[in-house]
Amino acid sequence: MGCICNCFVGLLNSVLLTVGIGFVISGAYLNINGNSDCEKVLTTPLIVMGGLLLILSLIGIMGTSCSSTFCMYIYLTLMFLLILGVIAFTIFVFMITNQAVGKAIADSEKVIEPKNPMDFSNWLAKKVNKENNWKKIKSCLIDARLCTTDEYKLEFNFLVLVDQAACCKPPDVCGFTQKNKSVWEVPKSGPSSKNKDCKKWSNDGDKMCFECDSCKVGVVENLKREWKALALINICLLAFLILIYMLGCCAFCS
């Protein structure tokens, strides 16, 4: 039984090794070929995660191939810590991407506050709305030429599938008249709504509605979708890691 477990652990760790190498290569590729900081935003996470998987898988392969009790002990300890980390991160992602996320940013005249100290639903919105963070995000949206691409299509930079209507045009309630794709005329009587975004709109291609609350809400909602997808991937990864850990324990105890 122990020999069978060793073989499976070695095989699964070979898969982890391949994944780790892929992450490191992807991170290095983005770092070398990225045209902007937005394209390089995933460089560090990919290289760090890839490096951790490389080290972990190599220790596991050494432990099973050399029948090293010491290596297996280190391997199982690190694997247990990694599993705990993935569980904690997955729970955190689900907590910050519930239905209330994004509503912390004023979409008209109101701001919804957390209901209790354990409500993390506004965490993502607050991070996006933070001045320094928004400057970087706005720069990425401008560099990606969001408002010149086809609707719902954006080259891979920092954000994808951001609703252009939220950032590239004034809110409909403002009552502006569209002259062409990027130019809107304000009625002589002024905006038809007191919505703050009406005053923030500019026909300047580098300004437009990138400071609008509606744009920030659109970014938050997009991040929420992407993080939820990441949480689902984490669940699959978690199941894979737990399987390897159980087989590793079996091989260690045999």
pLDDT tens figures, 70-92 = 888 899 999 999 999 989 988 88
Distance between CA atoms of 32 and 40, rounded to whole angstroms? 9
Which residues lie across from 178 on neighbouring strands? 184
Cβ–Cβ contacts within 10 Å for residue 124, how many?
A: 21
**For residue 112, which of 198, 197, 220 has the smallest C-alpha distance?**
220
Which residues lie across from 67 on neighbouring strands? none
What are the start-end ranges of the E strands in 47-181? Answer: 177-178
Tell me how far CA of residue 185 lies from CA of 102, 149, 169, 177, in angstroms: 29, 22, 11, 5
pLDDT given for residue 88 in this prediction: 92
Q: Residue 207 is encoded by which pair of tokens?
A: 């300004």
pTM here is 0.73
Distance between CA atoms of 234 and 87, rounded to whole angstroms? 8
Produce one character per residue of 58-82: b if its CB has 16 or more CB atoms within 10 Å, e if not. Answer: bbbbbbbeeeeeebbebbbeebeeb
Q: Are the beta carbons of 121 and 19 closer than 8 angstroms? A: no
Largest Cα span, the chain: 83
Q: Residue 30 is encoded by which pair of tokens?
A: 């983005």
- Name residues of the chain where pLDDT drops below 70: 1-3, 34-42, 98-121, 149-164, 254
The single residue listed with the structure tokens 């920092």 is 158
**For residue 254, which of 3, 51, 39 has the smallest C-alpha distance?**
3
Apex 49 CA angle, 12 and 84, nearest 5: 75
Apex 128 CA angle, 157 and 135, nearest 5: 65
pLDDT given for residue 34 in this prediction: 66
pLDDT given for residue 83 in this prediction: 92
How many residues belong to the chain? 254
Rg (CA), the chain: 24
Distance between CA atoms of 175 and 187, rounded to whole angstroms? 7
Q: Residue 116 is encoded by which pair of tokens?
A: 């209790």
